[in-house]
Amino acid sequence: MRGLTQEQLAELVGTKQPSIARLKSGASTPTVTFLRKVAAALGSRVEVRFVPMTTCF
């Protein structure tokens, strides 16, 4: 994540390293608030989009 260790990112986000590890592994469903904090720490923003699913018939 932009050259940061999980510990460094956790410090920037204001959380603990295991929370970052769970996010990275997909082991938990993060809140939008948590994602916003991570995005801000990485100099990014969160975007949510609805994308049509294609069907094969």
The pLDDT tens digits for 17-33 are 999 999 999 999 999 99
What 3 state SS string does the chain have?
Answer: CCCCCHHHHHHHHCCCHHHHHHHHHCCCCCCHHHHHHHHHHCCCCCCCCCCCCCCCC
Structure tokens at 55: 């069907």
Q: In the chain, what are the domain boundaries?
A: 6-41
User: Rounded to two decimals, what is the model's pTM?
Assistant: 0.80
Residue 1's nearest CA partner among 52, 17, 53 is 17
User: pLDDT tens, 3-16?
Assistant: 899 999 999 999 99
